[in-house]
Amino acid sequence: MATTATPPPAPKVNRIGLPVLDYRGGKTTLCAGCGHNAISERIIDSLYEMGIQPERVMKLSGIGCSSKSPAYFLSRAHSFNSVHGRMPSVATGALLANKTMMGLGVSGDGDTASIGMGQFVHLMRRNLPMIYIIEDNGVYGLTKGQFSATADLGSKLKTGVINDLPAIDTCALAIQLGATFVGRSFSGDKKQLSAMLKAAIAHKGTVMLDVISPCVTFNDHEGSTKSYKYMQEHEEAIAEVGFVPHFEDISVDYDAGSTFDVRMHDGSHLRLHKLHENYNPTDRVQAVKALMEAHEKGEVLTGVFYIDPEKPTFTELLNMVDDPLATLPQERTRPSKQVLDEIMNRLK
């Protein structure tokens, strides 16, 4: 019987012609079932779907299991694993020196809310164009499961130790400090997390996403408030997140009474379908109030809490030259003759 060779089907590619393989990273060495792995998957999908050139991305992280995860996505991007809690300033320096790069930061709850708190709050104030993801498991995974500063009051470690201090809500803080896109999601909520990540890519200022990401090894038991089970029982979405990228046709109708349509800076649309009474994602006070109320009720509120798509970013405010400082030719790295003469005259 004659066989006709059928050519293998061409790999599926995205709008810039790259297969999803080009968005993958090294093989993960994190525990099987770790929430961080699921987040890496969502990052891969969303960068692929948005058609981001991998080489334009600068991955940045601190130290922790979460901070290791940039090795497990987007191998074709630049990457900087800095020191514990210090990624915000490394990111600020790097992105000021080269504002054409897209900053994608991955941190942990310990890396951010414990050792890195000082750096974190100042990053939020800057509205630096970057995405900052906290992979939040309520413990220090890499140092074997001690409580971090996002662990809820009264939650219990495997050893029976009870957390005696209240949790820091990184979302409430970020909103108050000036981040312009703030939300919380859950590593197990594929649909919501993907939509939020894609919207994050479309946003021009600081995006702060706190993603609850259970640590299966140290914090997934009864009594933990960051376990899969706890999240399944207590997750409460403030709104359903829909995202239509700028390169797609926006035809689907929506009900203006129950849905906020936010036009983003690049022309994409974020469609937030209200699930809560007083939800208004452009009102910071409302947003913080909703977070505090949910907390009182013992719910883990998720969704996009606050967005301001047009607030000028740090690099816009600094009024920088168009070319990245990092690649200016040598003639342009020193002050001009005229400026030097002026300086010298004032010394005489």
Partner 1 sequence: MRQSFAIGIGGAAGQGVATPGDIFAKIFSRRGLHLNAYNAYQSIIRGGHTFLTIRTGPEKVTNMGDRIDLLIPLNQDTMDRHLSLLSAGGACIYNADTIKPGTPAEGVQLCPLPVSKLADISKNKVAQNTLAMGAALSMMGVGFQALESVLAEQFRKKEQAVIDENVNLARTGYDYATQNFQAFPHPLPMTDNRYAVLSGNAALAMGGAAAGVKFYCAYPMSPSTGVLHWMAEHARKANIMVRQVEDEIGVINMAIGAAHAGVRAMCATSGGGFALMSEGLGLSAMAEIPVVVIDCMRAGPSTGVPTKTEQGDLWQMLGAAFGDYPRVIAAPLDIGDCFTLIPEIFNIAERFQCPGIVLCDLLLSEGRLSVEPQALDFNPPIDRGEMITSANGNGHGEYKRYLITESGVSPRAVPGLPGYTHTVSSDEHAEDGVLISDEYTNTVKRRAMMEKRMRKVQGIEASAPPPELQGPADADVTLIGWGSTQGVIEEAREQLAEQGIKANQLQIRWLVPLHGDAIVGILKGSRRTIIVENNFSGQFARYLRSETSFLADGHIRKYDGEPFMPHHIAEAVKEQLAGETTLSIPAHEVMV
Ligand X SMILES: Cc1ncc(C[n+]2csc(CCOP(=O)(O)OP(=O)(O)O)c2C)c(N)n1
Site residues, partner 1 (CB under 8 A): 26, 29, 54-56, 58, 63, 68, 71, 75-83, 86, 88-98, 100-101, 118-119, 122, 318, 320-321, 324-328, 330, 332-335, 339-340, 342-344, 347-348
260 binds ligand SF4 (CB under 6 A): no
Query: How far apart (Å, rounded) are the C-alpha atoms in residues 198 and 203?
Result: 9
The reply to whether 31 sits near ligand SF4 by the rule CB under 6 A is yes
Contact between 39 and ligand SF4 by CB under 6 A: the answer reads no
Judge whether 144 and 166 are in contact, CB under 8 Å: no
Question: What is the smallest separation between the CB atom of 222 and ligand SF4, expressed in angstroms?
Answer: 17
Q: Mark residue 85 as left, alpha or beta (left: phi above 0; alpha: psi -120 to 50; beta: remaining).
A: left
Per CB under 5 A, the list member of 137, 170, 192, 206 interacting with Mg ion is 137
Binders of ligand X in range 98-127 (CB under 6 A): 108-111
Are the beta carbons of 97 and 89 closer than 8 angstroms? Answer: no
The torsion defined by the Cα of 195, 197, 201 and 205, in degrees rounded to 10, comes to 110
Least separation in angstroms between CB 235 and ligand SF4 = 19
Closest alpha carbon to 264 in 328, 198, 319: 198
* Binding residue (CB under 6 A) for ligand SF4 from 141, 205, 242, 309: 141
215 binds ligand SF4 per the rule CB under 6 A? yes
Kindly write out the interface string for residues 280-309 of this chain, putting x where it contacts ligand SF4 by CB under 6 A and - elsewhere.
Answer: ------------------------------
Q: Are 328 and 206 in contact (CB under 8 A)?
A: no
Q: Which stretch binds ligand SF4 (CB under 6 A): 2-10, 196-204, 214-222, 293-301?
A: 214-222
282 and 221 in contact (C-beta within 8 Å)?
no
Element (H, E) at 19: none
